[in-house]
Chains A and B, each alone.
Chain A
Amino acid sequence: KAGVTQTPRYLIKTRGQQVTLSCSPISGHRSVSWYQQTPGQGLQFLFEYFSETQRNKGNFPGRFSGRQFSNSRSEMNVSTLELGDSALYLCASSLARGTDTQYFGPGTRLTVL
């Protein structure tokens, strides 16, 4: 089975722009979670989607949003980019919610100039 895929792998944007990141979960997985990884804050939970509905949300401003499609693929969007949004954005998928293991993709490295 193919693993979690994320596109693009690298992005460079400027302050004020917006960006959309994509995540394709492992086939059959219905839950997708997003995490932000920075050197200062470490790994932080952004949100989780299951059956096209946001089920859980971390402590991030409203500029961070996401959605999930009927095929379980997910996108996250960051509007009005700030320098501090530079990070590795990781997507994880699991079969269902709850205690199912989350499998991570390689991440999208976002650099905001």
Chain B
Amino acid sequence: ETGVTQSPTHLIKTRGQQVTLRCSSQSGHNTVSWYQQALGQGPQFIFQYYREEENGRGNFPPRFSGLQFPNYSSELNVNALELDDSALYLCASSLGGQNSGYTFGSGTRLTVV
């Protein structure tokens, strides 16, 4: 079975631009969570998608939005990029359910200049 795949691996954007990051979840996994990890910090929960619906959100502004597709792959969109958005963005997928295990991708390193 394939793991969680994220694309692109690295990205440089200018302040004010918009960006879309992609995540292909592990085969059969219907739940995806997105995290932002600033340098030297632990990951911070952005939001979770379950069967194409948002299922909880962390303390991130509305310019962070997401989508989940019928094949359970997912996108994270960030509008009006700010310098502080520079971080490693991680997605993690799971079969869902209480106490289920999540597999993380290797992340997308976003640099905003």
Note whether A and B form a binding pair.
no
Q: Which A residues lie at the B interface, using CB under 8 A?
A: none
